[in-house]
């Protein structure tokens, strides 16, 4: 074959169509780059599922989205200080459990303390147990780092379990206070906050840590715990939880709108 055989080795010559000699028809000629991406609690996350696109979309043709200039929220401010604290308790756990098993254990823990609240209806103890259970959510990332078993599925599972944990906690509050409408809108606001970024990632390249907004997951958890503490201190004659859930609904939907407007701006700039 002309250009492909010879006594001395020589660099492959490209055909007119841009395909190197000896390259199978239909094969990509673009250089392959190692897959890198953001991590969630120490575990790499699927780009598409976590807010980063790895497929050839219009966004990649226009370039990646610029990083956010918004101030970091709780997760961004304190994560680097909190995560190392879980290394010590995670080491014995890492000997007997995988990171994914720890993630599912956290879901079970939230379910147990929420069912206990439905039974004992003591808001202070529910706030305390929720704070411990949600804080222990960082254990799965520590176990993943210790066992060196980071995976895209682990990050994806972690994100899904986060949504279920929040749903269970809000359902317990709504049941005890008979505030189903407020609970529904608070939950939907949290889900839409996550979806706004995930859906934008299907159109543009979105960095997983570049969207700090008003009421992210850590802010919502802290708000719920503070509302329960206030209920235990000042709610003897008035149930404060329904009011807290309505306020949470307003704040979460405001955050979803904030992300919608950011996505709109990014997509219009890249059009």
Chunked into runs of 10 residues, the chain (271 residues) has average pLDDT values of: 47 42 46 44 42 37 44 56 75 91 94 97 96 83 88 91 96 97 97 92 78 84 96 88 98 95 89 74
Structural domain tally of the chain? Answer: 1
Structure confidence at residue 254 (pLDDT): 96
Residue 84 lies in a domain: yes
Alpha helices for the chain (secondary structure H): 47-50, 58-62, 74-82, 87-94, 99-120, 123-135, 139-147, 152-177, 180-200, 217-234, 241-270
pLDDT for residue 77: 53
**Inside any domain, residue 5:** no
Please tell me the predicted confidence (pLDDT) of residue 260: 94
Q: Is residue 52 part of a domain?
A: no
pLDDT value, residue 57: 38
**CATH number for position 155:** 1.20.120.1760
For residue 140, is it within any domain? Answer: yes
Residue 102: give the domain boundaries: 39-45+70-270
Is 211 a member of any domain? yes
Round to whole Å and give the CA distance between 95 and 108.
20
Does some domain include residue 6? Answer: no
Structure tokens at 246: 């309505």
The answer to the question of residue 207 being in a domain is yes
Structure tokens at 95: 């000997």
Residue 136 pLDDT: 74
26 in any annotated domain: no
């Amino acid at each position: 074959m002309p250009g492909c055989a010879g006594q001395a080795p020589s660099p492959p010559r490209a055909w007119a169509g841009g395909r190197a000699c000896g390259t199978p028809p239909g094969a990509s000629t673009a250089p392959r780059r190692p897959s890198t991406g953001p991590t969630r609690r120490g575990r790499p996350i699927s780009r598409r599922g976590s807010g980063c696109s790895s497929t050839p979309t219009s966004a990649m043709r226009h370039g990646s989205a610029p990083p956010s200039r918004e101030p970091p929220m709780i997760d961004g401010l304190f994560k680097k200080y909190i995560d190392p604290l879980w290394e010590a308790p995670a080491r014995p756990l890492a000997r007997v459990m995988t990171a994914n098993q720890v993630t599912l254990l956290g879901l079970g823990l939230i379910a147990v303390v929420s069912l206990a609240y439905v039974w004992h209806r003591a808001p202070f103890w529910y706030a305390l147990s929720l704070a411990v259970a949600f804080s222990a959510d960082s254990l799965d990332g520590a176990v993943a780092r210790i066992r060196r078993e980071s995976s895209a599925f682990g990050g994806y599972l972690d994100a899904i379990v986060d949504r279920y944990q929040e749903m269970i906690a809000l359902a317990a509050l709504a049941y005890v206070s008979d505030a189903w409408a407020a609970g529904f809108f608070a939950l939907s606001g949290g889900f839409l906050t996550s979806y706004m970024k995930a859906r934008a990632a299907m159109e543009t390249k979105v960095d997983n840590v570049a969207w700090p907004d008003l009421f992210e997951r850590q802010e919502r958890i802290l708000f719920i715990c503070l509302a329960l503490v206030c209920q235990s201190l000042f709610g003897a004659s008035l149930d404060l939880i329904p009011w807290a859930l309505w306020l949470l609904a307003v704040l979460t939907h405001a955050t979803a709108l904030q992300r919608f407007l950011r996505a709109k701006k990014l997509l219009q700039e890249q059009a």
